[in-house]
Chains A and B, each alone.
Chain A
Amino acid sequence: MKMLTKFESKSSRAKGIAFHPKRPWVLVSLHSSTIQLWDYRMGTLIDRFEDHVGPVRSVDFHPTQPLFVSGGDDYSIKVWSLVTRKCIFTLNGHLDYIRQVSFHPDLPWILSCSDDQTIRIWNWQNRQEIACLTGHNHYVMSAQFHPTEDLIVSASLDQTVRVWDISGLRKKHSAPASSVRSFEDQLQRQQLPQQDIFGNINAVVKYVLEGHDKGVNYASFHPTLPLIVSSGDDRVVKLWRMSDTKAWEVDTFRGHTGNVLCAIFHPHQDLILSVSDDKTVRVWDLNKRVPVKQFRRDHDRFWLIGAHPNMNLFGACHDSGVMVFKLERERPAHTIFQNKLYYINSEKQLQSYDYSRNETSLPMLSLKKIGKTWSFMRTISYNQTDNSILVVFGEGDSSNYALISLPKHVTGAIEPTDIRQGEANFATFISRNRFVTFIKSTKTLHVKDMSNNTTKTIQLDSSVNDVLPGQGGRILLVKAHSVINYDVQQRKEVAELSVNNVKYVSWSNDGTYVAMLSKHTITIANRDLELVTSMHETIRIKSAAWDDTGVLLYSTLNHIKYTLLNGDNGIIKTLENTLYITKVVGNQVYCLNRDGAVEVIAIDPTEYRFKKSLVNKNFHEVLRLIKNSTLVGQNIIAYLQKKGFPEVALHFVQDPETRFDLALECSNLQVAFEQAKILNDSQIWEKLGEEALLQGNLEIVEYVYQQLHNFDKLSFLYLYKGDNERLNKMTTIAEHREDTSALIQNTLYSNDVKKRCQVYIQNGMLPLAYTLAKSNGLVELAAQILQEAGLEEKDVDLPELGGVVQLPTPIEEPIGNWPLKESSLSFFETALITGQVENLSLEDEPEQQQQPQQQQQQQQQFTKSATPALEFNDEEFEDDEDDGGAWGDLDDDLDIGDEFNAQAAAGAPSPDVVPVVEGEIGMWLRNAKTPASYAAAGAFEQAASLLNKQLGVVNFAPLRQRFLTVYGANKVYLPGADDLPGIKTFIRAENDEDDPKKFKPFIPGFEQLDELVKIGFRHFKLNHLEDAISTFRDIIYTIIVLNVEDEDEEEKCRQILSLCREYILGLSIELARRALDPSDIKRNLELAAYFTRTQLQTDHRVNALKVALTQSMKAKNYVSAAHFAGEIIKISPAGSKNYVQAESFKLRAETAGSEAVEIDFDPYSDFEICSGTFTPIYPGEPSVSEAIVGAKYKPEFKGGVCSITGVSAIGVPASGLRIRAD
């Protein structure tokens, strides 16, 4: 048994606790006079109630009404409203501290007990005391109504427990209400509290239970049985039984070492829970009357324990707050095999559920006798081969597993016959006849066979805390901050992902994804534990299962939710009770509830299917869902908007305002215009106006300005439209509106000088009017104005006036809307407008675009730099990926017919040459795209044909060994039956692949490339030049018959090919030099110089330069010598031996400064070296290349076999290296 703490509050001493029957709330009354209301699920303080003076010893929620009651040391009982969060009224009457208060389960009564030695019953509706029970002769510490009968049990420091019969009280109060009683009546009743005016007895003591040796602190009824449990200062818990006529002590539970303050029955299990000031909570077995478990706090004395009315939750009050906990997990252990769920029900029996038939089996097996009585079955794993299960039960160090065979026929819960057990904290099957167990204390993993014998023991890292099931013989090792995918058979960590405190995992149906559940986080990863998405939940996550389409459904304490692989999530359903999802099929969610029974819940998967389709751009499905389902809600609209599909959202929205916003977002002016008309709000019009202006829709702009009476803007609009007619109208309108300023503005726009003058005159601005008239040549008008002003022309002194300014007139009709390019409707718009979904095409052009891309790629591979960028150290092979390998510029030389190109690019020989083979080889052949795959499948002709077409290979003899290696490296033999041939089985490139269309042979070689290069370098260093050449050629042969997985690998191969070319060329030049007749000094010097031009690793190049330098010095070619010495200095570390020597040579050579032999080598010009003649090919000179390594030749070599590779023809059509297996 395990105590799982769900919530803890920190406060002063807590004295009373009560659970809300429905909501996740708990009331806590404190010694400090405060009452707190906590949400124990979220861990938040909802409210505080402060009205009592002094300690509040008890609180209780009303079972149905939004009320609670409290009682404390201020002698008062207070009833509070949960709605207003205020005290509604106070009941006074007790004469001392109130120890406990509680509501009656159905009558409007409150029960209280007090240090005044009485128990009182109050009617909270009329707020009157209706009974006072006397009899105890010391403090009454607790009093409680019976849940169903008219009984009360009370406990007192007088060392007794009393049971009271209150049926009389009920009778009286359910009788028709009598007339209002007189004051005297009431007074009398109070004096004779147990009798009413008719002499009826309200409450009588039914039994007095004596047995405690000291004061009794608490007594409570069993919810269903006629039992009472009590606890006292004599440190014991006592169990009592009662019949109709008597009550007697049944047993005593000893163990507490301090006063036992409270003891209660478990609401639905045969357990008793007690708390004491010895700082322990103890759990006792009601039937066997033995202790089951105890939990200790270090510093806090316990005061009270309360149970949730319906759920497996308890709250205990102690010196520094409360703790809410549950006893034992409630997740029924379960596992799925194919279409069946195996689970353990509440009776600890194994049952199965057939998903396809929606049928629960009879219980198959009783597991009650496995482990101790109260040990919980935590996990289960099923093995079909053996028809057995593996269960793990118990906790911590006493956690064990049991391997149990299932009966062949299900006939009911029989006792298992064949049980093999052992210690483990986790156990699961990893194959037909193996399982692994994990022992946490020693961090060991045992692989066991079905006879429970250990076949392998693995010591794990000490940080491994737990193990969870994996896929395909693997398990997941859980550490505090990471999860490791572990191959048990290979003892190898395959992958690791950082994720905290994972508790459960759920693998997708095809094993591609795994959801790892922690308390509040879900982390989704692929099977290689590469993070896909991660999300946080505030409510505890309980379970998860994948639906058929790769959507994860999960349950929290109170919801079923979903998440897509991109992290988009939402709520599907709210749950009354927590459920554990086991499987999702279509719209059915198969769950297990906490009572260990299967519940099938129908959900509406539309929302997540819709979102998934949208994310995956499966627009046809989106449309189908739009058309066929009632998908609405702000949620969807917001989602669509967020994902950039406002036009789809538009479809869902009815609300004009939202429609308007969405329409603007998708620039749909027409819809926005319609909505604006409906809304007719100035802000809306303004927004529309702005957008219309941006789009150049002047009609709408005009309409908007009109609506807004925005005359100034309207006038300006007409001005720039060139619409004089309307501009004049605006003048008239301004006149009507008597808006002088607007009028003047309009006359300015229309250049109507007369009108403006009139306006000035009307407004008494004669000087302005005169000046205007005069300057515009309106002599008569000017004269009139002067006259009106009573002035003469000479009185006015005007500056010199220029000519009349003419307003340009529009040359065309007033402009309309800006012509916009006809926009095509989006996929959805078309579909939604036309209603035709089926025949729409989403395939815009991507396919057509792809081809040029491919071609471009092919071209790129030829135009990359001819310099290999790989830098190899002798010891360390560093892969520099910055620069491409080299192919040389083959563009001009290659004449590849389109037809041929297409065929070679497709990578497959014409189908008629592929032999039809069945089995693995058949699949390899069908999936083959590279020469290596064909060779591995034994189709040497096809492989050869591809090599010929792609790389121009004509001399196959050197490739014999490589072909046989590739063919032989993927076939092994299982011994067959005696005297029969063995069984050939095959090594695939990827054993985790389950799609036969992707089965490919494993081709060795890539892993060995680095090592081979090193060997080549070693030969170079040791001056074994022939061996080095042969090694580099082997590398070439390996690469051309090889499969690589990705671009990086392919790129690496290309670079190594370039490297091989340079070394083979360089070493061949050097060999040729060494083979020369010593008298041929000129050629000797030339070859030495060319050798320095090959792209070798730095220290190897130094060797070449030293050769050239030495030869030059010998031949008295000092200029060249100085150059080579300079090159050495450039690449040698300053101060090194080479550097110092070179410096001294350089000095000597420069001093001499002459060249004895003229050679064909210009150190300053760029050239390539013909691999046939070892002479320079200068830029612009004709040349041909070879296709594997891109070696250059003079044109006369065309058609010959390349001396670098030894296998390929020079200058023949070739489509290029193709080693990517996919």
Chain B
Amino acid sequence: MDEFNDSSELYTIRNQFYSNQHNAVISYSLDQFSSQYQLKVLEFQIRSTVALGQDASELIDHGKVLFPEEEELFQLLSAHNDLQSFGTDSSTYFQDVKQGKFELQTVLTAIYLVKYEQDVNQAVSILNEYINSDRYNIGELEPFLILMNLYLYLGKIDQAAKLFEHLKIFPSFIRDSIIYHTFEAWYLAVKGESDNINNSYYFYDELLNLDYENDPIGKQKILTALFALTLQMRHLPEAQELLNQIRQLNVTSGDFIANEICYNYLTGSNDTRELLQQLYQIEPNHQLLQDFAEKTKVFDEIVGKYTA
């Protein structure tokens, strides 16, 4: 059975994984799935565990026993887990990967490069190399998701558009995939214009209907996206409503604080010192802080230049 088909057993868990319902992903028992899907389910569960900041070694060991022939995969997941627990030093797994052998390896390596090496360009080239190689299997969308994320992060909207062109040669069922919808929503938002932003908004709005009771972090992500899009549309009263909702969750994130700073600017409360400090504590490398630091430096030079 085609794994992208809606009727696939993996449909729900995949959606949950990519919509950040990691607790929901973990809560499944492997027995609930047919044996042919169990490996993939385990993979999702391990990644979800890592994403929640927990140690997944037990699951990995369990997997090694269940699927002795999949050593390579578990080695990768193990390295991924170790990064989370011990940081970069303990493993050289990802440093040694120069070329992604299979989808997950490519994806996790790219994430490693961005997160630990801050080498976005290398990550982009590894992903590009993989999707254009004969190792790539049609239907593997996660590399596209990561690549889209990185292109948009770099502000390369033209490249992002090309990525869409690339996907056109794929069978149309991939458009039913949540991964496709996710990066489409990003792309549309960055592209701007009312229709696009609205469509992006509705994607997230729909995700909100999912059961996030056990995944407040996931929910916060969705609400943060909605908050950003509402600001993009400059619907300030709605933004205030979302802001209240997010605050009630008691979960915060760098992107949320960055958006709140923007909200303050838009509403005329220009004092953002406290928020900037908060942001610095949570995510010292956030783009906004980097931007502001750079702009402050430029501004200092301007002050010096004209008074001199």
Q: Which residues of A contact B (CB under 8 A)?
A: 385, 430-434, 449, 453, 455, 472-473, 489-490, 917-921, 938, 940-941, 944, 948, 953-957, 960-961, 963-965, 967-988, 991-994, 999, 1002, 1004-1005, 1007-1008, 1011
Assess the B203–A433 pair: CB atoms within 8 A. yes
Assess the B225–A938 pair: CB atoms within 8 A. no
If A431-B198, A918-B158, A919-B156 touch, whether A449 touches B206 (CB-CB below 8 Å) is: yes
Asked if B73 lies at the interface with its beta carbon under 8 angstroms from chain A, I say no
A977–B233 CA distance with the chains assembled, in angstroms: 23
**What residues on B are CB-neighbors of A449 within 8 Å?**
206, 209
Interface-centre pick from A919, A944, A957, A983 (highest chain B CB count, 10 A): A983
B144 vs chain A, min Cβ distance (A): 11
Assess the B198–A489 pair: CB atoms within 8 A. yes
**What residues on B are CB-neighbors of A982 within 8 Å?**
153, 254-255, 258, 287
Assess the A993–B265 pair: CB atoms within 8 A. no
Q: What total of A-B pairs shows CB separation below 8 Å?
A: 213
Least CB separation from A956: chain B residue: B303
A490–B232 CA distance with the chains assembled, in angstroms: 13
Q: Which 4 A-B pairs have the closest CB atoms?
A: A969-B265, A919-B155, A972-B228, A473-B198
**What residues on A are CB-neighbors of B292 within 8 Å?**
964, 968
Partner pick for A976 among B149, B209, B295, CB 8 A cutoff: B149
Assess the A948–B145 pair: CB atoms within 8 A. no
Partner pick for A999 among B150, B192, B288, CB 8 A cutoff: B192
Assess the B153–A984 pair: CB atoms within 8 A. yes
Assess the A991–B261 pair: CB atoms within 8 A. no
Assess the A940–B265 pair: CB atoms within 8 A. no
B130 vs chain A, min Cβ distance (A): 16
A733–B242 CA distance with the chains assembled, in angstroms: 104
Q: Mark B201-213 against chain A: 1 for CB-CB distance below 8 A, else 0.
A: 1110110010000
Q: Mark B277-308 against chain A: 1 for CB-CB distance below 8 A, else 0.
A: 00000000011100110011011001101110
Which residues 96-115 of B have a CB within 8 angstroms of A?
111, 114-115
**What residues on B are CB-neighbors of A921 within 8 Å?**
155
Which residues 41-95 of B have a CB within 8 angstroms of A?
51
Partner pick for A994 among B193, B231, B234, CB 8 A cutoff: B193
A956–B221 CA distance with the chains assembled, in angstroms: 38
A-B contact pairs, 21 of them (CB 8 A): A434-B206, A489-B235, A918-B158, A919-B157, A919-B190, A957-B303, A972-B231, A974-B186, A974-B224, A976-B152, A979-B111, A979-B115, A981-B153, A983-B149, A983-B153, A985-B228, A985-B229, A986-B190, A987-B231, A991-B193, A992-B194
Assess the B195–A473 pair: CB atoms within 8 A. yes
Assess the B186–A980 pair: CB atoms within 8 A. no
Least CB separation from A511: chain B residue: B195
Partner pick for B295 among A964, A974, A981, CB 8 A cutoff: A964
A1149–B259 CA distance with the chains assembled, in angstroms: 63
A964–B209 CA distance with the chains assembled, in angstroms: 37
**What residues on A are CB-neighbors of B254 within 8 Å?**
973, 982
A993–B197 CA distance with the chains assembled, in angstroms: 13
Asked if B245 lies at the interface with its beta carbon under 8 angstroms from chain A, I say no
If A433-B203, A973-B287, A977-B146 touch, whether A956 touches B189 (CB-CB below 8 Å) is: no
Asked if B238 lies at the interface with its beta carbon under 8 angstroms from chain A, I say yes
If A473-B194, A994-B193 touch, whether A969 touches B262 (CB-CB below 8 Å) is: yes
Assess the B206–A984 pair: CB atoms within 8 A. no
Least CB separation from B159: chain A residue: A918
Asked if B175 lies at the interface with its beta carbon under 8 angstroms from chain A, I say yes
Partner pick for B115 among A473, A489, A980, CB 8 A cutoff: A980
**What residues on A are CB-neighbors of B261 within 8 Å?**
968
If A433-B202, A956-B299, A956-B306 touch, whether A973 touches B193 (CB-CB below 8 Å) is: no
Asked if B138 lies at the interface with its beta carbon under 8 angstroms from chain A, I say no
Beyond A965-B270, A979-B51, A991-B193, 15 extra complex contacts between A and B, CB < 8 Å: A472-B198, A489-B202, A919-B156, A938-B295, A955-B306, A956-B306, A965-B265, A967-B291, A971-B288, A972-B259, A973-B287, A974-B224, A983-B186, A985-B228, A994-B193
**What residues on B are CB-neighbors of A1005 within 8 Å?**
268
Assess the B156–A1002 pair: CB atoms within 8 A. no
Q: Mark B260-280 against chain A: 1 for CB-CB distance below 8 A, else 0.
A: 011001101010100000000
Assess the A968–B265 pair: CB atoms within 8 A. yes
**What residues on A are CB-neighbors of B286 within 8 Å?**
981
Least CB separation from A387: chain B residue: B172
**What residues on A are CB-neighbors of B150 within 8 Å?**
980
**What residues on A are CB-neighbors of B303 within 8 Å?**
955-957, 960
Asked if B20 lies at the interface with its beta carbon under 8 angstroms from chain A, I say yes
Assess the B192–A973 pair: CB atoms within 8 A. no
Assess the A948–B253 pair: CB atoms within 8 A. no
**What residues on B are CB-neighbors of A948 within 8 Å?**
306
**What residues on A are CB-neighbors of B234 within 8 Å?**
987, 991, 1002
Assess the A981–B190 pair: CB atoms within 8 A. no
**What residues on A are CB-neighbors of B198 within 8 Å?**
430-431, 472-473, 489
A257–B51 CA distance with the chains assembled, in angstroms: 76
A1146 vs chain B, min Cβ distance (A): 45
Assess the A433–B206 pair: CB atoms within 8 A. yes
A128 vs chain B, min Cβ distance (A): 75
B207 vs chain A, min Cβ distance (A): 11
**What residues on B are CB-neighbors of A955 within 8 Å?**
303, 306-307
Partner pick for A972 among B115, B152, B209, B232, CB 8 A cutoff: B232
A342–B261 CA distance with the chains assembled, in angstroms: 47
Q: Which residues of B contact A (CB under 8 A)?
A: 20, 51, 111, 114-115, 145-146, 149-150, 152-153, 155-158, 175, 185-186, 189-190, 192-195, 197-199, 201-203, 205-206, 209, 221, 224-225, 227-229, 231-235, 238, 253-255, 258-259, 261-262, 265-266, 268, 270, 272, 286-288, 291-292, 295-296, 298-299, 302-303, 305-307
Assess the A980–B295 pair: CB atoms within 8 A. no
Least CB separation from B192: chain A residue: A988
A489–B194 CA distance with the chains assembled, in angstroms: 11
Assess the A1004–B255 pair: CB atoms within 8 A. no
Assess the B155–A984 pair: CB atoms within 8 A. yes
Assess the B295–A963 pair: CB atoms within 8 A. yes
If A433-B202, A972-B231 touch, whether A940 touches B299 (CB-CB below 8 Å) is: yes
Assess the B265–A973 pair: CB atoms within 8 A. no
Least CB separation from B257: chain A residue: A973
Interface-centre pick from B199, B224, B238 (highest chain A CB count, 10 A): B199
Assess the B268–A1004 pair: CB atoms within 8 A. yes
If A969-B266, A974-B228 touch, whether A472 touches B299 (CB-CB below 8 Å) is: no
If A973-B255, A975-B253, A983-B190 touch, whether A941 touches B238 (CB-CB below 8 Å) is: no
A628 vs chain B, min Cβ distance (A): 39
A539 vs chain B, min Cβ distance (A): 36
A385 vs chain B, min Cβ distance (A): 7
A961–B291 CA distance with the chains assembled, in angstroms: 15
A985–B261 CA distance with the chains assembled, in angstroms: 14
Least CB separation from A996: chain B residue: B192
A618 vs chain B, min Cβ distance (A): 29
Assess the B259–A973 pair: CB atoms within 8 A. yes
If A963-B295, A981-B287 touch, whether A975 touches B302 (CB-CB below 8 Å) is: no
B31 vs chain A, min Cβ distance (A): 27
Assess the A992–B153 pair: CB atoms within 8 A. no
Assess the B287–A984 pair: CB atoms within 8 A. yes
A1073 vs chain B, min Cβ distance (A): 30
Interface-centre pick from B225, B254, B266, B286 (highest chain A CB count, 10 A): B266
Partner pick for B225 among A455, A956, A974, A981, CB 8 A cutoff: A974
A972–B263 CA distance with the chains assembled, in angstroms: 9
B188 vs chain A, min Cβ distance (A): 9
Partner pick for A983 among B189, B209, B227, CB 8 A cutoff: B189
Assess the A920–B268 pair: CB atoms within 8 A. no
A1037 vs chain B, min Cβ distance (A): 11
A490–B20 CA distance with the chains assembled, in angstroms: 27
Partner pick for A920 among B192, B201, B205, CB 8 A cutoff: B192
Assess the B287–A967 pair: CB atoms within 8 A. no
**What residues on A are CB-neighbors of B146 within 8 Å?**
977, 980
A472–B197 CA distance with the chains assembled, in angstroms: 10
